[in-house]
A and B are shown apart, each in its own frame.
Chain A
Amino acid sequence: MSSTAVTFPRQGSTFAPLADEKKDGHVRAHAIQTVNASADALYQLWRREEFVPLWMEGVVSITRTGDRTSHWVMSDPGTGKQFEFDSEIIDDEPGQHLSMCVIEGMGKGSTDDITFEPHPSGRGTVVTLISDFVMPGGVVGNAVAAVVSRSPRQMTIENLRHLKQLAESGEIPRVEGQPHGKRGVMGRWKEFMLGETNPTPPGTSEREQRQDYPKQNELGDKREVA
């Protein structure tokens, strides 16, 4: 028997949970995805205002108003009501980290914090999104909002999912606009309950296209076909 001790590849550590909480009129939520794309491509999709409406839910328009500031018009998927705010980038490390804050308008004080890190064993880029929503109606208002549209937590998860889908597969999967038979009352109710009445962001859909889509090479890894 050899007496050489095992060499462990890393130091042990203790799990520290990411924020998910509701208090003082704030809702904090997080989402995490490993994406088979480069950190730079993902960062660009988030940093460049013209790309964001392709994958983020409920964006009507984003207008650049300064180097680090922009004006957002959003539409609530549940009610169709529009609201606006101004956003400022408060930290920007290309390909690594982005942090933004709502400086004026709806949800003033809300922040998004996004990190891009290489996956430890090479599965792509780990994107972590932590959103802190200042709820205009307080946390109770949020509970009502969650019934008519998406809860902030689900919205955080869905937005990051759409980003991943677009970056990895070159589109966002959609069934809106496909044929079906007569839905009837029950069918429509279920459609609503499953969140299918929330509009899917356009991704690269030609029918839904509003702006120029990033060139394939800007998205990094090219899709391969088996």
Chain B
Amino acid sequence: MKAVCWTGTGKMEVQTVKDPEILNPHDAIIRITRTAICGSDLHLYDGYIPTMETGDIVGHEFMGIVEEVGSEVKNLQRGDRIVVPFTISCGNCFFCKKQLWSLCDNTNPNAHVAEKMYGYSGSALFGYSHIYGGYAGGQAQYARVPFADVGPLKIESDIPDEKVLFLSDIFPTGYQAAVQADIEPGDTVAVWGCGPVGLFTIASAYMLGASNVIAIDRFPERLALARDYCGATVIDYSQDDVSVIEALRDLTHGIGPDSCVDAVGMEAHGTDVVAAYDKVKQALMMETDRPYVLRQAIQAVRKGGTLSIPGVYGGAIDKVNFGAAFGKGINMKMGQTDMQKYLRPLLQRIEDGQLDPTFLISHRIGIEQAPEMYKVWRDKEQHVTKIVIDPWQDRIAA
């Protein structure tokens, strides 16, 4: 089959590899019909996730048709159409039973690596480095889905692939970010980043009762989606006369946002001297993450407010004003998304017509275009907002 493989920092290649096979009794093999490139994939592409191996198949947002199931998979059969959540969960450990699916104890074959870096290991993820298990990803024509009886969401209706594809990650991730923001009616929520995760966070914050969402980014097409499609008040932080923290104070009548969401993560872009310092340190591997947005959000949030962090961090950060977090008594919630908790309720919202997730798709491509589109995605060229891949076509004309 054809698969998108990581071959080093800044390099992706489409290679022909062997087809996946059933290895364990709860596995399924699916023929992938649609897959997408995520903001998280950029952290791999840019070389900030340490345990990538040359030749790793990337991709964790995918769906397809079941080809074959292992002997213990009783709830799926050949021909079923499923969306695969990006976290792999066993369904029976202490954490799965508590609905903390992304913290499953039993799916990471390299748990010892994660334990050395983090103390304990979370669940494995598809196509996301070996510290997260080293599972082959879904930017490919076929994939092996472990614990296929626990994770995947079966789609029974004839709703198009594109409308449900983002249940594999970014819609639940944005939704969980809003849940973790602890929104109360009348609240104002500030969201940094109007990428796919940020956009779904904005929409979800309104679903959960926020009365106002303020969104921060610098790319006009992303700000436009946040404003025109999702009803946010937008701030373009790249404008010379804009200070994000002051803007947020003014927009919240001097109080500060009740909740702040960092939907940017470890590769935040900054415009001042401290940001330059982070970039240099990160390049020298003295600091693994650039916590530019995290710092701003800690400063901006109101006293006793909540910070929700769906943006991915991988390791050590520097110069975070923990005193501000302490002094204002703020709450912080973060982590990979507990996918299985949200799949069915969000599918329901899509089927009820509450939200059409296709609004953010800007590019539909064939698999051979993936390597060049990674660059476009990283540099946010061509007004890109989300890239969807049909792995069975080589190229799709724009």
Contact = CB atoms under 8 A, between A and B. Distances in A.
Interface of A: 34, 36, 123-124, 154, 157-158, 161, 164-165, 168-184, 186-187, 190-191, 194-196, 200, 203-207, 221, 223-226
Chain B binding surface, main DSSP class: loop
Given A179-B19, A181-B5, A36 B97 contact: yes
A175 B135 contact: yes
Contact of B23 (A36, A205, A223): A205
Nearest to A176: B23
Contact of A173 (B75, B91, B133): B133
Contacts of A154: 112
A170 B107 CA distance: 11
Contact of A190 (B18, B94, B107, B130): B130
A158 B121 CA distance: 13
Given A169-B91, A169-B106, A226-B91, A177 B55 contact: no
A184 B94 CA distance: 39
Contact of A206 (B25, B97, B109, B134): B25
B49 interface: no
Contacts of B144: 178
Interface string B1-16: 1010101000001010
A124 B56 CA distance: 37
Interface of B: 1, 3, 5, 7, 13, 15, 17-26, 51, 53-57, 70-72, 75, 88, 90-94, 96-97, 105-113, 124, 130, 133-136, 140, 144, 146-147, 149-150, 340
A207 B20 CA distance: 13
Given A173-B24, A174-B109, A178-B144, A206 B17 contact: no
Closest 10 interchain pairs by CB?
A: A181-B5, A187-B54, A181-B55, A169-B90, A181-B15, A179-B17, A187-B53, A169-B106, A171-B24, A165-B106
Nearest to B13: A181
Contacts of B107: 169, 173
9 contacts: A164-B105, A169-B93, A169-B106, A171-B72, A175-B136, A179-B17, A184-B54, A200-B109, A204-B72
Given A183-B55, A194-B110, A195-B113, 5 more contacts: A171-B24, A173-B24, A181-B5, A190-B130, A203-B24
Nearest to A213: B25
A131 to B, nearest CB: 16
A225 B91 contact: yes
A178 B54 contact: no
